[in-house]
Structure 1
Amino acid sequence: MAVITAALVKELRQKTDAPMMECKKALVAAEGDFAKAEEILRVKLGNKANKASARVAAEGVVAVYISEDRKLGAMFEVNSETDFVAKNPEFLAMANAGARLVAEKNPADVAALSALTVDGKTLEEIRKGLVGKIGENMSFRRFVRMEAQGRLDSYVHAGSKIGAMVDIVGGDDELAHDVAMHVAASRPKALDESGVDQASIESERRVAIEKARESGKPENLIERIAEGSVKKFLKEVTLLNQPFVKNDKVTVGQLLKSKGAKCVAFNLFVVGEGIEKRSDDFAAEVAAQVAASKKA
């Protein structure tokens, strides 16, 4: 039997936001398999097991740069400890300079980007100087560079916390900007079904099957129900199949087709996405759960 450590329970608790005891039960049932335990919680608790995925855990900005001809662009996430620093003009200037360097110099990774110079100083030297001046840690997290087949457009939302960039062939400027805005608002995971990770699809199918069985659905209908759930999931996470934010009577794909255009690529950054910053007192939570169970 797999050893279920407190650290593993805590990790699942933070990932799913499910009660601690439920996390432990799920890990025991899954024999220590973290992914399987997460699926068990999703079947049992539904959307409550996904609340943590919406939390952002770091401050900072997404800086965006697009060349004048709109053929070359980049997005660059820079993190800080507080939102106050994320609004600092020097911090923003550093982030914007980094985004432009990504587009123009095409660095291989964050380390290579950090070594590039702005006005005689490397980006890393600028970062260290600001850390010393402001007294708060800052880090270069990630970037993406895009070369357009058509034209690039972007949308930055929520005080530069969300950045989206799209490559649109055909159509006009308004359409390109609307699609970028939609990406920022609806946060698709892929352009179409072909871009969705197969493991995510299989996970959705397994969860749907278990939910159908637990609700007492006839066995001969379970596969059909699961396929329906997968199709619904794919519509929700693929850009071309999502209802357009400004007119939910049409999908983004239908909108593009009506304008004689197509979206060939997009990228989306959400500041702090995937970084955990919770400071729960796990020991206190365990003690409280144990005390409650004794009173029951």
Structure 2
Amino acid sequence: MTNTELFATCWTTAGDTSPLEPDQRSPVDFRTRVEAASAAGFSGAGFLYVDLLEAEQTYGLNGMRAILADNGITRWETELLTDWWPDAPTRKVSDEQRTGMLRLIEALAGHDLKIGPDESGNPWDRERWAEEFARLAGQTADVGARLAIEFLPWSNLPTIGDGLALVEAAGHPAGGLIIDNWHIERAGTSHDEVAACPVERIVGVELSDADATVVGTFVEDTVFNRRLCGQGDFDLRGLIAALRQAGWTGPWGVEILSSTYRKLPVAEAARQAYESAKAILDS
């Protein structure tokens, strides 16, 4: 039987906030988010690091463990570590965040640490990046998790091929990719290329939908205009078939960001995200 287990990524339950806000913290309490994800049918959930720190202050590590366990959330991830590469402008702050993220992953049995590429447009050295990626992957493996980098069409890693080249150069078994179908579609990546991705290099998958036309910049479009699965123009079924051909069996992440979606009560937002993605996966 095909696995259709679903995972609510960070922004799917974050409520009225976004990656473009000066303060990205979710206005929704950790317990409320976990309960909403579970009630909708999700078995996993994602959180910003800053939201996990707030949850720790409120509930403590034991309380957080109990909330996850009581709601059947068996997989969770934290994001988004940036400036982890050599000579990054805020590397000192990034290293502090890295230490904190790894601490929480180990304490709460997290599944993966999600990191981002460089969106600055500055020159970069793939060999030095690969060395640092391998080091971070090793640190993540030491706490029982995997390291996942998300390629972005406007970054120094714009395609799945670019992301895979970095991961393969690093060569650490704990390192891999987050494959977000929005980024696949906007970069013009073929489904054949997705199907050819080694499954051992896929750490996570994220599904959403959108209109064929980009409104504004790529960043603005991805933050303000995503749609629920099946409500846009993306070939989600084709992408899912390509991932299954690659050997991916799930879980399937759902990442919905839009100016209208984030205004919904979190329980209703989670329900709509789950049901729309499940319908596509089951079809």
Query: TM-score interval w.r.t. the shorter chain?
Result: under 0.3
> How does the TM-score come out when normalised to structure 2?
0.25
Counting strand residues as a fraction of each chain, which structure ranks higher? 1
Query: Which protein is richer in helix relative to its size?
Result: 1
- The higher radius of gyration belongs to 1
Higher relative contact order (CA 8 A, sep 6+): 2
What is the TM-score of this pair, normalised by structure 1? Answer: 0.25
